[in-house]
Structure 1
Amino acid sequence: MQKNKIASTHLFSSATVTLLSMIFSVFIFLIPILVVLILSVFTVNKIIKIDLTEMRYPEIDGLRGYLAFFVFLHHAYIWQIFLKTSTWKDPESNLFNQFGETSVVFFFIITVFLFTTKLFKNKTGEIDWLNYLKSRFFRLFPMYFFFVIIIFIIVGVLTQFTVKVPFIENLKSIISWLFFNVSKKSSDLNGLKDTFIINSGIAWTLPYEWTFYFLVPLIALWFKIKVNLKAVLSFTFAAAIIMVLNKSSLRHFTPFLGGIIVALIMNMKKTEAIFKQKKYTILALLLLGVSVYFFNGGKKPIQIIISSLVFLIIASGNSFFGILSSAFSRKFGQITYSLYLLHGIFLFILFHFVVGLERAKTLTHLEFWMIVTVSILPLLFICQLTFKYIESPLMSFSKTKK
């Protein structure tokens, strides 16, 4: 009996030491990166000024930028392993894998929550589906088209602008890229093996976003919104086509359910006053800590439940001690889409052309992360430019165009 108690005590203390060690190492590692991030956001906003858009949920807008930045760190970690092993694989580190997977889960939850909430708040019982489609097109496609053109140029450089494969094969790959249907198998352009590495394979989430957008008229019926039968059938057919062509995995739609459930709970009104309390900030941080400590990734049902609970707290107006609702975070959040799309290309150019692959393979752990840290400022500078001159003008155009 006594031996069991001693063993249990030893196991508990060992786990505690491991947890404390992990927290310490994370803070030591992340503090320089966060300091540079803060300085970079301030510097970029001084050089390239952008107006702060008023949002119904400022905390969510503030959250987005950090999520995109975590995905950047996730892929930077993968690049470090790739340079050493020539193998592109998910991080073994719980934290860095969740930087990618859990952030994507949050993005899916946010998308569904915002659109479901709009359906809840629809007072007219009608929606102009043509304008809805235009707004989605002008929000997502222009920046994505810019992103694809950069990839085509890089492929051209790497293949000496010489045709390496039959025209039809190239055409199929180009169409796949232009229509968001990019998988590892369909991504190779002009015979360039593993073309997806140029953008860290980030485009895989976009077909799931588009599938949801096309399913919104079907969901609207549940809210008793008048929907033309032609719109329901055509939009649902488009969603089905995207799913078939993309060979969509149903498990990636699980976070969408989380977004719907959060919207249903939020519609009860009383939740906002409850979850704004600081004790729920602590609860959210503890939940995220538990998820990172026990799980490598963010795709399992229990982790999606944890992410949904944390998001419920944030959507209720909990700003995490004012951080998420600050003008700083919200301005950072506005460049989310550019940061999400461009960071993979940026990492590729950084290590392939600037540092050089052979030199990059010999970098020490410290040298690698110093380069990544220093690169934050130019990355944010580029993203601020693309937001101001590509995203923002075309979003405004879609709102004014009748």
Structure 2
Amino acid sequence: MGALLCATMIGSLATALGFPLPPNDRRIGCIDGLRGYLALFVLVHHFVIWIQIVRLHGKWAAPTVNLLNNFGAGGVALFFMTSALVFYPRVLAGFRATSWVTTYITRVFRIIPLLAISLLLMSLIIALRTGNRPNLHTIKDVLEWITSWAQPSIMGYADTGRLDAYVPWSLWYEWMFYLFVLPACAFAMDATRGRGPTWTLPVTVLLISLCVRPLHPLGGLSRYLPLFIVGMLAYEAQRTETIRRILSAKWMAVPAAISLVAGLISAPTPYGAPQLALIGFFFATVACGNDFGGAFQTKGARALGECSYGIYLLHGIALNLLFVEGASFTERFSTAQVFALLPVVAAAVAGVTLLTYLLIERPLIRAGSRLARFATKQNLRIDSPQVEAAP
């Protein structure tokens, strides 16, 4: 209910700001309405962790209640599925038909700028808390953060990652998906085209990945690869008329919601095969256009979805400030009462990220698209003899 209230408030603010929403023909089901809720669930997960830190044991540790822990792990799992869903058309097109220059330029402009802003905010907080200043070694540390390679201490500040709730860890696996999994699947699609339905490729990769996962052949990616493949299968489901019609039916929201809850409460993480199936079924219904009684269709939900990356990256900083600099304030509340601050924090973070989307993300996304188009034209001029011979 709190998430729905937050979406309603953000919808009103988005209307006042003239917040732009993507046209309906660019939407895949109701996924854009889901993403904002996922980011809010990750915020709830980290809010609970901060309660544990300041009221219980002082350590950063996962909540012991499966549902609360899966607000974080499950939310990220569904984000991974979303990435695969959105980029699966490149797999269907095949390796040779995809402009990888465009893909990677636009990804850099989508991911890096706001990550850099979050790192700048963290550095400012560190400087104000410690009096430390950047030096030459800071450049190396910043580059590791920006590339998601690692999360070293910045300016000597111990446990810098706690400042943003360690959220950039997932970006490393996003990059692994874009750089290796996506082109490999596109290449495999070219190699197998015409030998069977296209869904056989993701099904095969999913079965193989689940079988070999205990051996960790791909390191940490072995755990998350099935999530990306489930996102690809959700795309296959929504492009199949019969499946899309069944899963988008209003009554299907009930078993899908039950499936999601079961997947989130049945284990501490969503990575087991049963949890993967349960959560994947829910995700497929949303991808097929099931709006769950309108919850994923409102302007507020869609606006939250557009700024979900900002919520994901910046909420940890807001929580850190609340429970560190704001400790004298939060200590006035009992443990039960402090949860009343949660919707206020969520609404504040969502409101700020509406602005960061308008002022930072959207302009740079557009700049990346323009650069990608320019780079693609340049490649065509170099590679095409017809263009070279043109007067």
TM range (shorter): 0.7 to 0.9
Q: Tell me the amino acid that sits aligned with residue 75 of structure 1.
A: H
Q: Determine the C-alpha separation between the residues in 1 that align with 2:11 and 2:299.
A: 11
1:83 aligns with 2:54: yes
Structure 1 residue 291 displacement after superposition: 2.4
CA-CA distance at 1:254 after TM superposition: 2.3
Among 395, 398, 402, the alignment partner of 2:365 is 395
Q: Distance in 1 between the 2:28 and 2:185 partners?
A: 22
For residue 207 of structure 1, give the secondary structure of its aligned residue in structure 2. Answer: helix
Q: Give the secondary-structure state (helix, strand or coil) at the position aligned to 2:295.
A: coil
State which of 245, 250, 266 in structure 2 corresponds to 1:278: 250
Give the counterpart letter for 1:59 in structure 2.
Answer: C
Of the three residues 116, 121, 143, the one matched with 1:175 is 143
**Identity, % of aligned positions:** 24
Report if the CA contact (8 A) 1:199-1:343 is conserved: yes
The aligned counterpart of 1:52 is: 21
TM-score by length of 2: 0.81
TM-score, normalised via structure 1 length: 0.79
Q: Secondary structure at 1:57's aligned position in 2?
A: coil
- Name the residue aligned to 1:315: 287
Q: Report the counterpart of residue 142 of structure 1 in structure 2.
A: 113
CA RMSD of aligned residues (A): 2.6
Residue of structure 2 in register with 1:217 after alignment: 183
Deviates more, 1:171-180 or 1:316-325: 171-180
State whether residues 58 and 325 of structure 1, in contact with CA within 8 Å, keep that contact through their aligned partners in structure 2: no
Deviation at 1:167, TM superposition (A): 5.2
Greater shift in the superposed pair: 197-206 or 294-303? 294-303
**Which segment is superposed worse, 294-303 or 337-346?**
294-303
Matching of residue 37 in structure 1 with residue 6 in structure 2: yes
Match of 1:328 among 300, 314, 332: 300
Contact 2:90 2:98 in 1 (8 A): no
Q: Which amino acid aligns with 1:45?
A: A
Residue matched to 1:95: 67
SS in structure 1 at match of 2:30: helix
Cα contact 2:11–2:303 (8 A) shared by 1: no
Q: Post-superposition shift, 1:273? A: 1.1
CA 1:336–1:106: 2 relative to 1, 3 Å:
same
Counterpart Cα distance in 2 of 1:272 and 1:36: 29
State the match for 1:372 in structure 2: 342
Q: Contact 1:57–1:317 (CA<8 Å) still a contact in 2?
A: yes
The answer to which of 195-204 and 359-368 deviates more is 359-368
Mapped to 1, the partners of 2:177 and 2:21 lie a distance apart of 27
Q: Is the 8 A contact 1:159 1:190 kept in 2?
A: no
Distance across 2 between alignment mates of 1:252 and 1:97: 17
User: How far 1:46 sits from its partner (Å)?
Assistant: 4.1
Q: Does structure 2 retain, via aligned residues, the 8 Å contact 1:61–1:334? A: yes
1:390 is matched by which residue type in structure 2? I
TM-fit CA distance, 1:68: 0.4
Mapping 1:1-400, distance limit 5 Å: 31=1, 33-34=2-3, 36-54=5-23, 55-84=26-55, 85-120=57-92, 122=93, 126-162=97-133, 168=137, 170-182=138-150, 186-215=151-180, 216-224=182-190, 248-353=220-325, 355-356=326-327, 360=330, 363-400=333-370
Unmatched runs of 5 consecutive residues or more in structure 1: 1-30, 226-245
Instruction: Measure the CA separation in 2 of the matches of 1:218 and 1:92.
Output: 37
Give 1:298 deviation, angstroms.
2.0
For 2:102, give the aligned amino acid: N
Distance 1:126 1:46 in 2: 39
Gaps of 5+ in 2: 192-217, 375-391
Corresponding letter in the other structure for 2:35: R
Question: Could you tell me which amino acid in structure 1 is paired with residue 13 of structure 2?
Answer: V
Shift of 1:41: 0.9
How far apart in 2 are the matches of 1:93 and 1:208? 26
Counterpart Cα distance in 1 of 2:364 and 2:125: 25
